[in-house]
Chain A
């Protein structure tokens, strides 16, 4: 059974600081996704990582994937309040060129304080 673990589960940080969220998974996969969820809202796709060593950046967020270590990271640079949300990683165990079968981590709730 695939297990996806995120840490930390909760992160309170000051504006302007840097931090990293970690996503570990238990079975080989080279497709990993990051989603953002604002309180009371749906999940919004942030990044799609499709190979070992993949790195994607959008604004103050950067995601990377190390398939050998079964680890993905979401790095936050110079955090701002607008980044406050819950972040989920999800690992795809589906067959290639088929429907995605995502298993989600437990989420990391990020609060950025002024």
Chain B
């Protein structure tokens, strides 16, 4: 099992550009979570999916953020337009109903200049 796979590992972009982060959950996991980690705010849940359906997006900071999960093996988090305050590490995690805890991906470090 390759674990939760995120890409890219690092992304540097200019303010105003569109950024897309990608995640492949562990096969068979039916929950997928997007978290953002910053020094100031710690780990924040942005959105989570169950069986590819968004269940709770109340943590998405504003309309510039959107997330999709077109199938069980792929999810994207998009920021358009990006701003410097979006700079953070974005983690994807997955879990399976009946299991305990998450498996985290390696994260994407986003820098918006």
**Residues of A in contact with B (beta carbons under 8 Å apart):** 31, 33, 41-45, 48, 50, 88, 92, 97-107
Contacts and interface: CB of A to CB of B under 8 A. Distances in A.
A42 B97 contact: no
A95 to B, nearest CB: 10
Contacts, number: 48
Given A42-B106, A99-B30, A99-B50, A107 B42 contact: yes
B101 A100 contact: yes
Contacts of B91: 42-43
A48 B100 contact: yes
A104 B100 contact: no
Contacts of A101: 45, 48
Contacts of B103: 45
Contact of B95 (A42, A50, A100, A103): A100
A45 B43 CA distance: 15
Given A42-B91, A92-B100, 17 more contacts: A41-B106, A42-B104, A44-B104, A45-B103, A97-B97, A99-B30, A99-B48, A99-B95, A99-B97, A100-B31, A100-B95, A100-B99, A100-B102, A102-B45, A102-B102, A103-B45, A106-B42
Interface in B82-113: 91, 95-107
B105 A104 contact: no
Contacts of B101: 33, 45, 48, 100, 102
A43 B91 CA distance: 9
Interface of B: 30-31, 42-43, 45, 48, 50, 91, 95-107
Nearest to A96: B98
A104 B102 contact: no
B45 to A, nearest CB: 8
The 8 closest A-B pairs by CB, nearest first: A99-B31, A104-B43, A43-B104, A42-B104, A106-B42, A42-B106, A48-B100, A33-B101
B105 A42 contact: yes
Contacts of B95: 99-100
Contacts of A42: 91, 104-107
Nearest to B29: A99
A103 B105 CA distance: 17
